C-alpha cells in the first residue's frame, strides 16, 4: 500500500482561517484499527471544517511498547491507539482513503520522550503532532528535563525530514495548557512561545501555539492577543497559528452547561482570530465520549463560531503581555541554545509552574482565583516578573479553597443551566418560594 497523499497540516488550517472558517478538532483515540478508522471518517464527515486526531494510549506515552503490543495480541482494549506497537501497514490502512489534502490528521500523545512515536507516525505517512520538551514532561512524567529536552530536539529533527517528501511537517506546543488550570495566563503564553522557538531552532517551520480556555473570557482574550504579538516578534520567519483548547479543568456535568462552555470557547477563538479549536463533549464530566458525542461537539462549536463576529482589540491591558515578555527575555538571555536555556530557567526558578510536583519544578509559585473569576499570582517565587505583575496576594490557598477553585467553572455553567431550566419550567413545577433548588457551593450538586 502506498503512503496516503496528504497536504501540510499547517497549510490546511491557515487556508481555512483565511477563508473565515474555524477549524475544529476532537481528542479521539481508540486501540482497535477499524474503530480508529471509523472515528476519523465520522470526524471528516461532520458538518464543520475539521482535522482528524489519533490520540495514543498510555503504554505508548510512557514508552512501554511491549505492554502495548501484548495488549494488542490479547485483544485487550487500550485507552488510545498504540502507533509504535501496531504494524505500520495496519496504520496505513487506517489512514488510506481518509487522510488527504482536505483532511490532515494530527497524532496526540503526551510523551516526554517521543522519538519512537515520531518515527512511527512518519513511517505511516503522517507529519503533524504536538507536545514539547517542557509541556509534555512536567505535568505527565518524572522524566528529567535533561532527558526530555534532547529527545525532543531529536524528535524535531526527525519530523523535519518529512520536508524532503514535499510536505511541511507541523508541531504544536502544549505549553499553553500546563496543568490544565490554575496557571496564570502570562506563564502559559511564555511557555507556548518558548517551545515554538525551540521547535524552530531544531528545524520545524510550521508550528501552532496553544492556549487553554481559563476562567474569564476577557482575561483569556488579552492573553491570546499577547501571544499573537509575541509570536510575531519571536517567530517572524515561520508559519504559525493559535489553537484554543476548550476548558481542561473540572467540566460541567449537565449537557446544557457543557455545551455553553464549548460555545464560549468557540467565541473566544473567533474573537481573538485563532485558527483552530480543540473541542470537548457533553460527556467530559463523567466518562469517555462516544464518536457521536465528539461529532456533536464539533458541529456545536462550528455553529457557535459561525454566529460570532470577529472582534480584536478593545481589551484592557492588565499586564499579561509584559509578564510573558519578561519571562521569555529572561530565558533567552540564559543561553543561545534554547534547550539549555529552558533547563537553566527551571533550575533557577525563572520558570515555575504552580502546583506542579515534577522534581525539576521549583514549586514556589502559587496562584488563586480572585473574586471576579480571574487567575492571579499569590506568589511568583523566583520568576523575574515582580515588576510586571500588577496584583498578588490572597494569602495561602487552603485545601477547601483549592477544591472550590477547581470546581468554579463546573458550578458556574451548571448552575446557570439549572437556573434557565427553572425559569422555563411551568409554574406548577417551580418551588413555592420561586427560588431555584439550593446548590452545594463546593460540588455544584443539588442539596
Q: How far is CA 107 from the centre of its chain?
A: 13
Q: Which residues contact 163 (CB under 8 A, 6 or more apart)?
A: 169, 205
pLDDT of residue 416 exceeding 90: no
Strand ranges, E, within 226-286: 239-245, 276-278
Q: Kindly state the average pLDDT of the residues 190-203.
A: 98
Q: Kindly state the average pLDDT of the residues 30-42.
A: 98
Neighbours of 217 (CB within 10 A): 16
Q: Kindly state the average pLDDT of the residues 123-148.
A: 96
Where in the chain do CATH 3.20.20.240 domains reside? 9-306
To 10 degrees, what angle do helices 338-348 and 320-332 make?
110
The pLDDT score that the predictor gives to residue 419 is: 56
The pLDDT score that the predictor gives to residue 6 is: 60
**429 band by pLDDT with thresholds 50, 70 and 90:** very low
The pLDDT score that the predictor gives to residue 285 is: 78
Helix (H, G, I), strand (E, B) or coil at 140: coil
Cα dihedral 229/231/234/237 (nearest 10): -120
Neighbours of 446 (CB within 10 A): 11
The pLDDT score that the predictor gives to residue 189 is: 98
Whether 367 contacts 168, CB under 8 Å: no
**337 band by pLDDT with thresholds 50, 70 and 90:** very high
Cα angle 189-192-198, degrees, rounded to a multiple of 5: 140
pLDDT tens for residues 93-117? 999 999 999 999 999 999 999 999 9
Mean pLDDT of the chain: 90
pLDDT tens for residues 125-134? 999 999 999 9
User: CA-CA distance, 191 to 175, in Å (whole number)?
Assistant: 5
Separation of first and last alpha carbons in the chain: 60
Q: Kindly state the average pLDDT of the residues 64-77.
A: 97
Whether 332 contacts 188, CB under 8 Å: no
Burial per residue of 260-295, b for 16 or more beta-carbon CB atoms within 10 angstroms, e otherwise: bbbbbbbbbbbbbebbbbbbbbbbbbeeebebebbb
pLDDT of residue 389 exceeding 70: yes
Architecture of domain 9-306: Alpha-Beta Barrel (3.20)
The pLDDT score that the predictor gives to residue 437 is: 36
Edge-first strand order for the sheet with 239-245 is 49-50, 23-25, 276-278, 239-245, 206-212, 170-173, 128-131, 105-108, 52-55
Whether 24 contacts 301, CB under 8 Å: yes
pLDDT tens for residues 207-253? 999 999 999 999 999 999 999 999 999 999 999 999 999 999 889 99
The pLDDT score that the predictor gives to residue 396 is: 63
Higher pLDDT, 24 or 418: 24
The pLDDT score that the predictor gives to residue 140 is: 85
Judged by average pLDDT, the poorest of 46-60, 328-342, 365-379, 401-415 is 401-415
Gyration radius of the chain's alpha carbons:
22
pLDDT of residue 165 exceeding 50: yes
pLDDT of residue 436 exceeding 80: no
pLDDT tens for residues 361-383? 999 999 999 989 999 999 999 99
Helix (H, G, I), strand (E, B) or coil at 342: helix
Q: Which H or E run includes 366? A: strand 366-369
pLDDT of residue 440 exceeding 60: no
Among 153, 173, 148, residue whose Cα is nearest residue 63: 148
pLDDT of residue 427 exceeding 80: no
The pLDDT score that the predictor gives to residue 394 is: 56
**408 band by pLDDT with thresholds 50, 70 and 90:** confident
Whether 78 contacts 57, CB under 8 Å: yes
Neighbours of 396 (CB within 10 A): 9
The pLDDT score that the predictor gives to residue 277 is: 98
**311 band by pLDDT with thresholds 50, 70 and 90:** confident
The pLDDT score that the predictor gives to residue 433 is: 36
The pLDDT score that the predictor gives to residue 330 is: 98
Among 6, 52, 46, 7, residue whose Cα is nearest residue 25: 52
Amino acid at each position: 500500500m502506498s503512503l496516503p497523499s496528504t497536504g501540510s497540516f499547517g497549510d490546511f488550517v491557515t487556508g481555512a482561517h483565511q477563508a473565515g472558517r474555524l477549524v475544529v478538532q476532537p481528542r479521539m483515540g481508540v486501540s482497535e484499527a477499524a474503530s480508529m478508522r471509523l472515528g476519523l471518517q465520522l470526524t471528516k464527515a461532520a458538518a464543520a471544517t475539521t482535522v482528524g486526531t489519533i490520540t495514543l494510549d498510555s503504554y505508548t506515552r510512557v514508552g512501554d511498547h511491549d505492554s502495548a503490543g501484548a495488549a494488542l495480541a490479547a485483544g485487550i482494549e487500550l485507552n488510545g491507539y498504540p502507533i509504535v506497537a501496531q504494524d505500520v501497514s495496519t496504520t496505513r490502512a487506517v489512514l488510506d482513503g481518509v487522510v488527504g489534502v482536505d483532511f490532515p490528521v494530527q497524532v496526540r500523545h503526551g510523551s516526554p520522550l517521543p522519538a519512537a512515536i515520531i518515527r512511527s507516525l512518519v513511517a505511516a505517512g503522517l507529519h503533524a503532532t504536538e507536545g514539547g520538551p517542557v509541556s509534555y514532561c512536567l505535568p505527565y512524567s518524572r522524566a528529567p528535563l535533561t532527558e526530555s529536552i534532547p529527545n525532543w530536539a531529536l524528535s524535531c529533527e526527525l519530523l523535519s525530514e518529512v520536508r524532503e517528501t514535499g510536505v511541511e511537517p507541523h508541531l504544536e506546543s502544549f505549553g499553553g495548557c500546563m496543568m490544565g488550570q490554575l496557571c496564570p495566563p502570562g506563564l502559559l503564553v511564555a511557555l507556548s512561545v518558548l517551545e515554538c522557538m525551540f521547535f524552530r531552532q531544531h528545524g520545524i517551520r510550521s508550528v501552532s501555539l496553544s492556549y487553554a480556555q481559563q476562567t474569564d473570557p476577557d482575561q483569556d482574550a488579552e492573553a491570546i492577543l499577547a501571544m499573537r504579538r509575541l509570536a510575531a516578534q519571536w517567530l517572524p520567519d515561520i508559519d504559525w497559528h493559535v489553537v484554543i483548547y476548550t476548558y481542561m479543568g473540572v467540566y460541567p456535568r449537565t449537557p446544557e452547561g457543557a455545551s455553553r462552555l464549548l460555545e464560549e470557547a468557540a467565541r473566544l477563538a473567533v474573537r481573538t482570530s485563532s485558527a483552530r479549536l480543540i473541542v470537548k463533549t457533553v460527556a467530559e464530566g463523567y466518562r469517555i465520549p462516544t464518536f457521536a458525542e465528539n461529532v456533536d461537539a464539533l458541529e456545536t462549536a462550528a455553529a457557535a463560531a459561525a454566529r460570532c463576529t470577529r472582534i480584536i482589540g478593545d481589551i484592557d491591558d492588565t499586564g499579561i503581555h509584559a509578564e510573558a515578555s519578561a519571562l521569555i527575555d529572561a530565558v533567552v538571555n540564559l543561553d543561545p541554545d534554547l534547550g539549555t536555556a529552558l533547563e537553566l530557567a527551571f533550575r533557577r526558578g525563572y520558570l515555575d509552574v504552580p502546583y506542579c510536583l515534577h522534581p525539576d519544578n521549583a514549586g514556589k509559585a502559587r496562584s488563586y482565583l480572585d473574586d471576579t473569576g480571574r487567575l492571579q499570582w499569590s506568589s511568583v517565587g523566583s520568576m523575574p516578573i515582580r515588576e510586571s505583575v500588577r496584583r498578588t496576594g490572597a494569602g495561602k490557598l487552603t485545601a477547601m479553597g483549592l477544591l472550590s477553585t477547581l470546581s468554579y467553572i463546573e458550578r458556574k455553567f451548571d448552575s446557570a443551566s439549572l437556573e434557565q431550566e427553572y425559569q422555563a419550567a411551568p409554574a406548577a413545577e417551580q418551588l413555592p418560594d420561586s427560588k431555584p433548588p439550593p446548590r452545594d457551593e463546593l460540588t455544584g450538586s443539588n442539596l
